[in-house]
Amino acid sequence: MNSWWTLVAAVLSFIIAASLGKWLIPYLKKLKCGQTIRDEGPKWHMGKSGTPTMGGLLFIISSVVVSIILFICFLLTSDNTSLTASTDIARFFAGIVMALLFGAIGFFDDYIKVVKKRNLGLTAKQKLILQFLVAIAYLTTLYLCGATSSTYIPLIGRVDLGVFYWIIAAFVIVGIVNATNLTDGLDGLDGSITFFASLAFMVISSFMMYEGMAIMSAALAGGCLGFLVWNFYPAKVFMGDTGSLFLGGFLCALAFGLNMPILIIPIGIIYIIEMLSVMLQVTYFKLTHGKRLFKMSPIHHHFEMCGWSEVKVTTVFSMITLVFGALSFLAVYFGMNTI
């Protein structure tokens, strides 16, 4: 695959996302779509109350539109008929739809909270049910289009887990989507981490010649960068659940699209740490009858309470993602060359 397809995808997505902010942010303010800051969060975050949310629409629109248009153009201009394999096309479009459906769940949650002024939004049970339905629908689509339970693990080889693959996959997708949602707590944090995560997927998919996934990951990287123009500290807009749930779904689509869902663990290491920090905090609190393992969870707030600035937390977490993304590529590179 010519690298210019990914370059065009990244540049176009960045331009669209950054440009849309000039129109969308004032519109969200007009609708009074202001974020309500939780009382249990850091007290200095109260100053952010009223900042427009649902800004994730910036990278949702840019990454989806650019991905679809460029992938179709690529298919129409390519003379390699193997690139039009039904399974690869299914992984592309099913992944896009899955990410959009997760974004829709987040949008309804945000809409109920900030427009209808019902602070709770969707209940945890409602969100989980909807998320599992989306994950199951996605996996069913892949199965019906020829995908199997055989998956590739770098440096190990191909592994077939049978029916357990599909069960584990559903829980992995829902888990990562919620972990990405938990990571959205500081200005620029979720967008920056996802930018580097999508870069890793872009390099890996380009190396493996998965054209659809390369275009998708490049478009997501550009969209996140365009969003960060408005979201980096001090943020003028938040992505909301609309954006964070979409990001989780999109990243899962990339990992499963490469048929290497295991990559979501190292590349998404920060999301997983954020989720584990919440789980450990709650468990420790219950077992010790009120003691806390961290000063505050998710763990990005713990470092805030230790005196780190939002920019420092975002920078360190992003660099960790960059390092693990590079290690993931090396594992794929050496693994593929030893087959």
* DSSP letter assigned to residue 38: P
**What is the rounded distance in angstroms from the CA atom of residue 195 to the CA atom of residue 2?**
21
Which among 14, 35, 1 has a CA at the least distance from the CA of 235? 35
The one-letter amino acid at 204: I
List average pLDDT for each run of 10 residues in the chain, which is 339 residues long. Answer: 84 97 90 62 62 93 97 83 66 97 95 72 89 98 90 89 95 97 94 98 94 96 97 93 97 96 97 97 92 92 93 97 97 78
* CA atoms 21, 24, 27, 31: torsion sign: negative
**What is the rounded distance in angstroms from the CA atom of residue 239 to the CA atom of residue 245?**
10
**How far are the Cα atoms of 16, 20, 99, 184 from residue 61, in angstroms, in the given order?**
8, 9, 12, 19
What are the structure tokens assigned to 220, written together? Answer: 């997501």
Which H helix or E strand runs over 253? helix 240-257
* pLDDT score at 81: 47
Q: Do residues 200 and 326 make contact, with C-beta atoms less than 8 angstroms apart?
A: yes
What are the structure tokens assigned to 183, written together? Answer: 């990571």
* pLDDT score at 83: 47
199: Cα separation from own chain's centroid: 12
Q: Do residues 3 and 206 make contact, with C-beta atoms less than 8 angstroms apart?
A: yes
* pLDDT score at 35: 60
* pLDDT score at 87: 77
Q: How long, in residues, is the chain?
A: 339
**What is the rounded distance in angstroms from the CA atom of residue 265 to the CA atom of residue 277?**
15
Which among 124, 119, 123 has a CA at the least distance from the CA of 35? 119
